[in-house]
Amino acid sequence: MATDRLFSRAMAAFVVTSFFPLLCSSAQARGMNYTFVKDAARAPDVSYYDYIVIGGGTAGCPLSATLSERFRVLLLERGGSPYDDERIGDMTRFADTLSDTSAGSPAQRFVSEDGVINSRPRVLGGGSCINAGFYTRAADDYVRGVGWDLGKATAAYRWVEDVVAFQPEVGPWQAALQQGLLESGVAPDNGFTYDHIEGTKVGGSIFDADGRRHTAADLLRYARADGLDVLLRARVAKILFNVRGNRRPVARGVVFHDSAGRMHKAYLNAGHGNEIILSAGAMGSPQLLMLSGVGPADHLSSFGITLVRDQPAVGQGMYDNPMNAIYVPSPTPVEVSLIQRRQLGRPAHGLQQRRRRSQAAPQLRHVRIRGSCHDHASHMQLCKCAVPYKVTVLSTRLCCVPEQTGQLATVPPKQRTPEAIARAAEAMSQLNDTAFRGGFILEKIIGPLSTGHLRLRNRNPDDNPAVTFNYFSHPEDLRRCVAGLSVIERVIQSRAFENFTYSDFSVEMLLNMTASYPVNLLPRHDNDSKSLEQYCKDTVMTIWHYHGGCHVGRVVDTEYRVLGVDALRVIDGSTFNASPGTNPQATVMMLGRYMGVKIQSERLKAAGLGRKKLIAGDPYEGFKLSATLQFSVVPAAKMQATLQKRFWYMMNKSIISSVMYLQRRCNKDKLLEPRNSY
C-alpha cells in the first residue's frame, strides 16, 4: 500500500546502520536446524513444563535457552521464524518489515494516543529482528543502580556478544559526522566500544559485515535441545491462576491459540520453583497481565475480566524516548550504512546559530519547503551526543514530494486520505535520484521525564492496547530537545560536514523542509522554524525504545517476581524505569541471560546442592565448576547412585558445552579479528 511504503520509508530514514564482520556460517542456516522449534498447530492440547516463557523476544530467547540447560522449558511466541523471512536478515530491507501491515508481518504497527506511529515485533527474536541494530551496553552506574551484580552482568553481556554483536565499518559520511560532532565540542573520541561512556564513540551492531542481522533467536543455539520446546504462532490469551480463599494466587498455566484458532493449554509441572515468565515486551507484558486479571481493578471490571489481583501500577510508567530530526540534503552521494556512531557528552557552550539565508540548491528547489518526503531506507548513520540528550546522525537517501502532490504534513491528519498519500508516493517515485541524497540528523531524549500509561482497548490479545506517552509534557524534555537541535545545527555548520551540505541552504530552510514530512499524525504550525519548542512538539517521532508498564518495585520485585502472586515473573523491557545504555537491546538480552543463570543457581542452591558459582557467563566455565562442586554436597546415603547419575549428566553437559564454546570461539577468531577489546 502506498501509505505503508511512504511511512516506512520515512521511518527507515531514521534507522539505517552499518556493516559488520561476518560469521563463518550464517545464523540463518543454523537457525533452520533448531530441532526444538515447531508450529503451535503441532502442539498437544495439554502439556506440562517446569518453565513456561511467554514471548520469544529479545529477553525471552536468551532466558529460555539458559533455563533449558537444566529444566524443561516451553517458549511461546506469537510470531513466526525470523529464518523464514528474508527481509529480517537483510539490513537494506529494514523498511520492508516495518511497512508490512499484514497479519503475518513480523512488525505490528501501532499508533500511540499521542499520534506518533510506532512498531512492535511479532516474530521469534522479537525487537532484535526488526530493529536498527545499534548495540551498546548499559553504563556501570545503571547496572549497579538496578541492583545487578556487575561481574555477572558483564559475563552475561559477553555471552550475548559472542553470538550477535559486531564492530561496524565507518564510511565517509559517518566519518564526517563524527568529526562534525567533535568539532562541535562533544569529546573525547572513544573509538569503538560497547560501553556507554561520555564523548564520541562507534558503537556495536547486530548486523555483520555482510549486512546480515543476528538476533536474539540466534541465542537459542545455546539451548539444550531436550530441554526446550519453542512453539511459533502460539498466541497466549491468558495466564491461569489457582485462586483459593485468602491465599495468594498462584500461576499454574497458560491458554494459547495456534494459527488455526485451536486452543491449547500448558501447565507447570508440580514442584516448588516452577514458574511462568512473561517476556512479551513493554506492550505485551502489561497487556497480558491485565487480560489475566492482574491490573487496576476498575479498569479490568469495565472489560468483564475476573480480578485475580488488584494491581493499579500495571500499565503505568510507560516511557518512550522522543526523537526529532533535521533533514540535510547532500550534494555528495552518501554510503549505505546503519547505526554506528553515537556521542555522549556535553557540547561546548555558546552555540551560535548561523542561519544561512541564500537560495536552495537548484535540484532540490522544487521540494524544499512545502513537500513531504520519505526515504528509501538505504543509507543511514547514527551519531549521538550530549547528555542528557543525544544527537543522532543518520544519512539516508531521501525522497521528497513536490509541492503539488502532497503537503501531507500540513494537512490535518484526518484529511490525509489514502488517495492523497498514494498520489504523493507515486510522485515521489518519479523524482530524480539526486533529490534523494541526504541524511537525517536526529536527537533522542535520554531518560525522558514525561510519562504515560497503557490501557486495554478490548480483550483480544492480538490487538494493540492503547498507549499514551505524553511526549514533551514535562518542560525539561522540551528544553533538552531544543538543546539537542542546537547541537545538530552546529554539526551541519561544521567544517567537517561541508561536503555533505549545500552552502546555500539555511538551517531555517532545513527545519521547514523537515517539518513538512509526514513523520507523525500531528498537525503542523506555521512557526516551526522560528520556535524550536514548537518544532520539537510538531515533529516528534519515536526511536522505538519504549519501556515500562511493569516497573521493578511497583509491579515486580527486584527478582522480577510479580508482586502479590506466586510463580509468575516478568523479565523484559517492561520492567525498565529507564532505557539502559540509551539503546536497550543489549541489556534486554543480557537480562534474559542474567536472570536465567540466577534462577538456575538459586534453585539448585535451594535444593541443597550448594551450587554457589556454578554458572558464570560462559556455559563452559559454568559446567566445569559444577562438575567439581556438586560431588561434595550430595548426602552420603545417596552418594553412589547420585554420583553416577550426576557424573554422566555433567560429562554429557560438559562435552556439549565445550563443543559449543569451541565452535563459538572458532567462529569469532576466524571472522571477527581484529575486533574489540572484550
Ligand X SMILES: Cc1cc2nc3c(=O)[nH]c(=O)nc-3n(C[C@H](O)[C@H](O)[C@H](O)COP(=O)(O)OP(=O)(O)OC[C@H]3O[C@@H](n4cnc5c(N)ncnc54)[C@H](O)[C@@H]3O)c2cc1C
585 near ligand X, judged by CB under 6 A: yes
Is the distance from CB of 192 to CB of 676 less than 8 angstroms?
yes
127 near ligand X, judged by CB under 6 A: yes
Of the pair 419, 463, the CB lying nearest ligand X is at: 463
105 near ligand X, judged by CB under 6 A: no
Backbone dihedral angles phi then psi of residue 337, each to the nearest 5 degrees: -160, 165
Is residue 311 classed as helix, strand or coil in its secondary structure?
coil
- Picking from 587, 560, 665, 581, the residue whose alpha carbon sits closest to that of residue 154 is 587
For residues 489-528, which are near ligand X according to CB under 6 A?
A: none
132 near ligand X, judged by CB under 6 A: yes
Is the distance from CB of 339 to CB of 12 less than 8 angstroms?
no
Of the pair 120, 524, the CB lying nearest ligand X is at: 120
Which residue in 6, 13, 40, 59 binds ligand X (CB under 6 A)?
A: 59
Is the distance from CB of 280 to CB of 287 less than 8 angstroms?
yes
Which residue in 68, 81, 131, 493 binds ligand X (CB under 6 A)?
A: 131
Is the distance from CB of 232 to CB of 39 less than 8 angstroms?
yes
Q: What are 301's three cell numbers?
A: 471490571
- What is the edge-to-edge ordering of all strands in the sheet holding 541-542? 389-395, 438-445, 322-329, 541-542
| Distinct helix (H) and strand (E) counts, the chain | 17, 28
- Picking from 175, 217, 178, the residue whose alpha carbon sits closest to that of residue 85 is 217
- Please indicate if the annotation marks 573 as binding a ligand: yes
536 near ligand X, judged by CB under 6 A: no
Residue with the three cell numbers 501447565: 267
For 75, the enclosing helix (H) or strand (E) is strand 73-76
235 near ligand X, judged by CB under 6 A: yes
Q: How many CA atoms lie within 13 A of 139 on its CB side?
A: 12
56 near ligand X, judged by CB under 6 A: yes
Of the pair 514, 582, the CB lying nearest ligand X is at: 582
- State the SS3 of 354-394: CCCCCCCCHHHHHHCCCCCEEECCCCCCCCCCCCCEEEEEE
Of the pair 59, 616, the CB lying nearest ligand X is at: 59
Smallest distance, Å, CB 57 to ligand X?
Answer: 2
Smallest distance, Å, CB 545 to ligand X?
Answer: 5
288 near ligand X, judged by CB under 6 A: yes
Q: How far is 327 from 322, CA to CA, in rounded Å?
A: 17
Smallest distance, Å, CB 628 to ligand X?
Answer: 34
DSSP string, 212-246: BB--GGGGGGGS-GGGEEEEES-EEEEEEEE--TT
CB neighbours (10 Å) of residue 346? 14
295 near ligand X, judged by CB under 6 A: no
Span near ligand X by CB under 6 A; candidates 234-242, 343-351, 498-506, 643-651: 234-242
Which residue in 55, 82, 253, 617 binds ligand X (CB under 6 A)?
A: 55
Of the pair 106, 402, the CB lying nearest ligand X is at: 106
Helical residues (DSSP H) of 44-85, grouped into ranges = 60-67
573 near ligand X, judged by CB under 6 A: yes
Q: How far is 472 from 450, CA to CA, in rounded Å?
A: 6
Of the pair 58, 657, the CB lying nearest ligand X is at: 58
Smallest distance, Å, CB 635 to ligand X?
Answer: 40
440 near ligand X, judged by CB under 6 A: no
Span near ligand X by CB under 6 A; candidates 127-135, 155-163, 263-271, 447-455: 127-135
168 near ligand X, judged by CB under 6 A: no
375 near ligand X, judged by CB under 6 A: no
The CB-nearest residue to ligand X is 57
DSSP state, residue 558: T
- Please indicate if the annotation marks 159 as binding a ligand: no
Say which residues have a Cβ less than 8 Å from residue 365's Cβ, sequence separation at least 6. 359
- Picking from 369, 416, 413, the residue whose alpha carbon sits closest to that of residue 523 is 413
Q: How far is 29 from 218, CA to CA, in rounded Å?
A: 10
**Is residue 525 among the annotated active site residues?**
no
Say which residues have a Cβ less than 8 Å from residue 355's Cβ, sequence separation at least 6. 506, 507, 508
- Please indicate if the annotation marks 585 as binding a ligand: yes
322 near ligand X, judged by CB under 6 A: no
119 near ligand X, judged by CB under 6 A: yes
Catalytic residue among 196, 545, 547, 551: 545
280 near ligand X, judged by CB under 6 A: yes
- Please indicate if the annotation marks 544 as binding a ligand: yes
Q: How far is 641 from 653, CA to CA, in rounded Å?
A: 18
- Please indicate if the annotation marks 551 as binding a ligand: no
**Residue count, binding to ligand X (CB under 6 A):** 44
Q: How far is 515 from 677, CA to CA, in rounded Å?
A: 42
Site string for ligand X, 447-486 (x = CB under 6 A): --------------x-------------------------
Which residue in 160, 339, 386, 556 binds ligand X (CB under 6 A)?
A: 339
58 near ligand X, judged by CB under 6 A: yes
572 near ligand X, judged by CB under 6 A: yes
31 near ligand X, judged by CB under 6 A: no
Q: Which residues are catalytic?
A: 545
| Annotated binding-site ranges | 123, 236, 544-545, 573, 584-585
Query: Which residues here bind ligand X, judged by CB under 6 A?
Result: 15, 54-60, 76-79, 119-123, 126-128, 130-134, 234-236, 279-282, 284, 288, 339, 461, 544-545, 572-573, 583-585, 588
